[in-house]
């Protein structure tokens, strides 16, 4: 059985006080409720990590960062390394989010480097892929996602793939209110699993959690999660409100 996961991506929202309050309320909620098979991860801004880690310490919720540096250490003013992330108590890091690809020009080669550094630091990676609208309209979405996975991820060993979660996030659905239909999500997730099967074999493909991201909310989560190759979600906007986030987890 593969893991079912809901990960919240807070992006650049919440000051420290607000973030601690949100993390505390989500943690408290799940202290009393069984999580079943679902894994829950909060991906916070860097400066929240150490304090949120204290809050989550005795609970069931895991912690992640949204990025890490492409170098291990040294004179890189303003950067935060994968080892630093790990030292806060975080277990996960998002790599390759479309906002990093677009606004910070992170290409496949750089993302591959970051992924390998994160693995070496002992982090698990939520590796994002997905096409922009013009690529979908030109029916190139499969080619794009294939390239992103081949160049960003497929240099990993089969063993390292155990520490990977893939998130398919069609860029046209992120923060826009537009959601991929459950069938569109399933079609791409199945394709991603086939690519992983061809590269790493059936066992690896069967174990790989593939999350959907892009305007996922309480009203559409259950339908998207009902698809056989959709193993949960990477949630942006709706992860900033405790009630919305917990109902998405409950939909899983
Ligand atoms: P959204 O963002 O849920 O606000 O669309 C998802 C993401 O970017 O991870």
Residue nearest to atom 7 of ligand 1 (CA): 236
Tell me, what's the pLDDT at 41?
98
- Give the tens place of pLDDT for each residue, 61-87: 999 999 999 999 999 999 999 999 999
Residues composing the chain: 252
Looking from the CA of residue 99, the nearest atom of ligand 1 is 8
Gap from CA of 24 to ligand 1 centroid (Å): 22
Q: Compare 176 and 49 and report the one with higher pLDDT.
A: 49
| Catalytic site includes residue 189 | no
Looking from the CA of residue 216, the nearest atom of ligand 1 is 3
Tell me, what's the pLDDT at 177?
82
Gap from CA of 98 to ligand 1 centroid (Å): 10
Gap from CA of 37 to ligand 1 centroid (Å): 23
> DSSP letters of the chain?
-PPEEEEEE--S---HHHHHHHHHHHHHHHHHS--TTEEEEEE--GGGHHHHHHHHTTSS-EEEES---SSSSSS-TT---HHHHHHTT--EEEE--HHHHHHS---HHHHHHHHHHHHHTT-EEEEEE---HHHHHTT-HHHHHHHHHHHHTTTS-HHHHTTEEEEE--GGGSSSS----HHHHHHHHHHHHHHHHHHH-HHHHHH--EEEESS--HHHHHHHHTSTT--EEEESGGGGSHHHHHHHHHH-
**Strand bridging mode 232-235 / 4-9:** parallel
Q: Which domains does the chain have, with CATH numbers?
A: 4-70+78-251 (3.20.20.70)
Tell me, what's the pLDDT at 178?
83
| Catalytic site includes residue 58 | no
- Give the tens place of pLDDT for each residue, 91-142: 999 999 999 999 999 999 999 999 999 999 999 999 999 999 999 999 999 9
Ligand 1 neighbourhood includes 174 CB (under 6 angstroms):
yes
Tell me, what's the pLDDT at 192?
98
Percentage above 90 pLDDT, the chain: 92
Buried b (16+ CB within 10 A) or exposed e, 48-66: bbeebbebbeebebbbbbb
Looking from the CA of residue 238, the nearest atom of ligand 1 is 3
Contact (CB, 8 A) for 68 and 82: yes
**Which residues are 124's β-sheet partners?**
92
Catalytic pick from 97, 106, 135, 141? 97
Residue 58 has pLDDT above 90, yes or no: no
Tell me, what's the pLDDT at 239?
98
Ligand 1 neighbourhood includes 237 CB (under 6 angstroms):
yes
Ligand 1 neighbourhood includes 234 CB (under 6 angstroms):
yes
Gap from CA of 12 to ligand 1 centroid (Å): 12
Contact (CB, 8 A) for 121 and 82: yes
Tell me, what's the pLDDT at 77?
98
Name which of 34-38, 44-48, 135-139, 187-191 the model is least confident about: 34-38
CA 52 to chain CA mean position, Å: 18
Which residue, among 111, 227, 234, 220, has the nearest Cα to 170 in the 3D structure? 234
Instruction: State the pLDDT confidence band at 176, using cuts at 50, 70 and 90.
Output: confident
Q: Which of 214, 219, 221, 244 most suits a substitution to test ligand 1, by most atoms within 8 Å of the C-beta?
A: 214
Ligand 1 neighbourhood includes 166 CB (under 6 angstroms):
no
pTM higher than 0.75 for the full model? yes
- Give the tens place of pLDDT for each residue, 191-238: 999 999 999 999 999 999 999 999 999 999 999 999 999 999 999 999
Looking from the CA of residue 9, the nearest atom of ligand 1 is 9
């Amino acid at each position: 059985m593969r893991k079912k996961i809901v990960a919240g991506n807070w992006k650049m929202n919440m000051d420290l006080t607000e973030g601690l309050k949100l993390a505390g309320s989500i943690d408290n909620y799940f202290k009393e409720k069984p999580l079943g098979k679902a894994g829950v991860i909060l991906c916070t801004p860097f400066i929240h990590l150490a304090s949120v880690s204290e809050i989550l310490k005795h609970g069931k919720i895991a912690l992640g960062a949204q990025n890490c540096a492409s170098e291990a250490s040294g004179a890189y003013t303003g950067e935060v390394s994968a080892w630093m992330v790990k030292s806060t108590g975080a277990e996960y890091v998002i790599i390759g989010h479309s906002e990093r690809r677009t606004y910070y020009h992170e290409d496949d080669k750089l993302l591959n480097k970051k992924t390998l550094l994160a693995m070496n630091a002992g982090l698990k990676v939520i590796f994002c892929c997905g096409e922009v609208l013009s690529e979908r309209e030109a029916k190139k979405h499969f080619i794009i996602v294939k390239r992103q996975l081949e160049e960003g991820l497929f240099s990993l060993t089969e063993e390292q793939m155990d520490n990977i979660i893939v998130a398919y996030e069609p860029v046209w659905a992120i923060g826009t209110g537009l959601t991929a239909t459950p069938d569109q999500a399933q079609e791409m997730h199945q394709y991603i699993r086939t690519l992983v099967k061809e590269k790493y074999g059936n066992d690896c493909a069967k174990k790989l959690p593939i999350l959907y991201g892009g305007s996922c909310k309480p009203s559409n989560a259950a339908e998207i999660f009902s698809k056989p190759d959709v193993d949960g979600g990477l949630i942006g906007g709706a992860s900033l409100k405790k009630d919305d986030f917990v109902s998405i987890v409950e939909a899983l």
